[in-house]
């Protein structure tokens, strides 16, 4: 049901958040989005259909106590998407963990002050479920990442601690609002803003020859527009509860490269050497020590394993269906060309 009260979206300029804002506006909602700089710095948000009438951007610092009070005041629903997504940071504690955890608590404290908040939809990640594939296990919402640390996959560690902090807040404070978490896997697709998100960057790197060969690794893909839709469905569905693993189909690197090749992108520097199999995996694990720390750790903890997961809960309870990964991947590549993150095919040598 459409409400006249604004929906608050934190980190509104982010890859997922911008699509949430867009879809909310299309559906007739009023939106109050938080941004890190002056609103004039986000023309791609201010130019969305309906933005001039129903979008208010509020400058807020994720780590300042009370910074979100004004943004959340008067809102029934809060989408908390703001959190750093970086790999190979200098200081994982200050660059990843502190902003993710303290920012989550800051937002929830502001929700506590605003008597009208009914539900917070929290953008978590598959990273809070696991940081490595297990070929003989199917992951669900019941699983928690217990392996990550400041030294091992620190981004995954930050997402795990942030979501745990959110659920712990609910248990300790017993607020009048409830919490629903959305846990997406590799979020890809078109960007509404000029920044390149990390998941799309992996596809770009494969196209640009960053990887020496075809590795034995797979990912679960989900279109950014479906992730945005999942957030809104979690808000609108009264019976929504707990966590929702949000991902469509899984695809390994070999299949991904075959798709890119057959879709007209063969003139990019796609890897051709097959490094899957036991020998290739051992070689790639050895080479991973030449990579930046976090990239190397991720490769070593996922190579030679098959990631399996069950997305039945989100389809059953929220009624969502996922766009085919093939379509999202092709659309993501074309979008990266338009934004200048990839050279046009005619300029590829």
Residue 349 has pLDDT above 60, yes or no: no
* Structural domains of the chain, ranges and CATH numbers in brackets: 7-192+220-248+307-323 (3.40.50.720)
Question: Which of these, 333, 154, 135, 140, lies nearest to 246 by C-alpha position?
Answer: 140
Instruction: Return the pLDDT at 4.
Output: 62
Residue 309 has pLDDT above 50, yes or no: yes
Residue 250 has pLDDT above 90, yes or no: yes
Average pLDDT of the chain, as a whole number: 91
Cα→Cα distances 171→128, 165, 176, 178, 183, Å: 18, 10, 12, 10, 20
100 contacts: CB under 8 Å, gap ≥ 6: 83, 84, 158, 159, 161, 162
Confidence category of residue 299, pLDDT binned at 50, 70, 90 = confident
255 contacts: CB under 8 Å, gap ≥ 6: none
Express as a percent the part of the chain with pLDDT over 90: 72
pTM recorded for the entire structure = 0.93
Residue 2 has pLDDT above 60, yes or no: no
Instruction: Point out the catalytic residue in the list 5, 37, 118, 159.
Output: 159
Identify the weakest region by mean pLDDT among 62-71, 279-288, 337-346.
279-288
Residue 142 has pLDDT above 80, yes or no: yes
Q: Is 272 a catalytic residue?
A: no
332 contacts: CB under 8 Å, gap ≥ 6: 188, 189, 190, 200, 203
State pLDDT tens for residues 178-234. Answer: 999 999 999 999 999 999 998 999 999 999 988 878 888 899 999 999 999 999 999
Q: Which pairing describes strands 218-223 and 186-188: parallel, antiparallel, or unpaired? A: parallel
More confident residue, 171 or 3: 171
Instruction: Return the pLDDT at 153.
Output: 87
Instruction: Return the pLDDT at 1.
Output: 45
Distance CA 158, CA 163 (A): 9
For residues 109-121, average pLDDT? 94
More confident residue, 288 or 75: 75
């Amino acid at each position: 049901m459409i409400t006249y009260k604004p929906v608050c979206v934190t980190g509104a300029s982010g890859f997922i958040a911008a699509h949430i804002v867009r879809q909310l506006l299309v559906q007739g909602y009023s939106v109050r989005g938080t941004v890190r700089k002056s609103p004039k710095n986000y023309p791609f948000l201010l130019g969305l259909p309906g933005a001039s009438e129903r979008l208010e951007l509020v400058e807020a610092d994720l780590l300042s106590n009370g910074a979100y009070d004004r943004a959340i005041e008067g809102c029934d629903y809060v989408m908390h998407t703001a959190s750093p997504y970086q790999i190979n940071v200098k200081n994982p504690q200050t660059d990843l963990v502190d902003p993710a955890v303290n920012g989550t608590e800051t937002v929830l404290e502001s929700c506590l002050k605003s008597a009208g908040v009914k539900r917070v939809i929290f953008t978590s990640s598959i990273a809070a479920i696991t940081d490595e594939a297990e070929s003989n296990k199917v992951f669900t919402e019941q699983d928690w990442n217990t392996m990550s640390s400041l030294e091992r996959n620190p981004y995954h560690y930050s997402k795990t601690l942030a979501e745990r902090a959110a659920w712990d807040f609910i248990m300790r404070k017993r607020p009048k609002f409830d919490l629903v978490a959305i846990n997406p896997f590799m979020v890809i697709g078109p960007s509404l803003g000029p920044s390149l998100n990390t998941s799309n960057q992996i596809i770009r790197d494969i196209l640009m020859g960053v990887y020496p060969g075809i590795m034995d690794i797979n990912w679960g893909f989900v279109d950014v527009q479906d992730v945005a839709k999942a957030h809104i469905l979690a808000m609108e569905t009264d019976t929504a509860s707990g966590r929702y693993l949000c991902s469509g189909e899984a695809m390994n690197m070999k299949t991904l490269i075959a798709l890119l090749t057959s879709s007209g992108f063969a003139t990019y520097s796609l890897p051709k050497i097959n490094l899957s199999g036991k020998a290739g995996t051992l070689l790639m694990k050895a080479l991973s020590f030449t990579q930046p720390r976090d990239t190397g750790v991720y490769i070593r903890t996922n190579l030679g394993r098959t990631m399996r997961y069950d997305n039945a809960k989100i389809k059953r309870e929220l009624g969502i269906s996922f766009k085919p990964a093939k379509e999202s991947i092709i659309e993501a590549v074309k979008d990266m060309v338009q934004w200048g993150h990839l050279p046009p095919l005619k300029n590829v040598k």
